[in-house]
Amino acid sequence: MDFFSFKKAKLLPIVVNRAAIFFFLVCVLTLFLYAAGTVQGFIDSTQLFLLRLYTVLGILLTISSIVGIILNFGRFFRVKKARYLIRAGGYVFFAVFGIATVLAAAFIIALSNGKL
């Protein structure tokens, strides 16, 4: 089996998988920077920038996760292997994480702007 062989795997599921993992890791890093900035006393504009950046990344995470869910359910119904349901469950976790934290970030942005 050649490491660089893509004979059995399709390109789209590989790209979606790597994009979802990338967006998840960058979202976690951005949340860590926001939390560290809160403790360290970052400027308010920097904190708002991190939250706005996070909302964009969280939306991209949610979109890539939804695409991953659709692809894995499609593969499950064609192949009938349980591993595709497990992968779809991971994408569901990513999507819920993305939606919940984007809503929380949007709420914090709205509070800091005085719109609530």
According to the model, what pLDDT value does residue 89 have? Answer: 94
Length of the chain: 116
According to the model, what pLDDT value does residue 103 have? Answer: 96
User: Rounded CA gap, 47 and 69, in Å?
Assistant: 32
Which residues does 31 contact at the CB level (< 8 Å), separation at least 6? 54, 101
Find out whether 104 and 35 touch, Cβ atoms under 8 Å.
no
- The closest alpha carbon to 24, from 86, 107, 96, belongs to 96
> Domain coordinates of the chain in residue numbers?
11-113
Which residues does 76 contact at the CB level (< 8 Å), separation at least 6? 82, 84, 85, 88
**pLDDT tens for each residue of the chain, 116 residues long:** 455 555 556 888 899 999 999 999 999 999 999 999 989 988 989 999 999 999 999 999 999 999 999 999 998 888 888 888 999 999 999 999 999 999 999 999 999 888 76
Burial 15-28 (b: 16+ CB within 10 A, else e): ebbebbeebbebbe
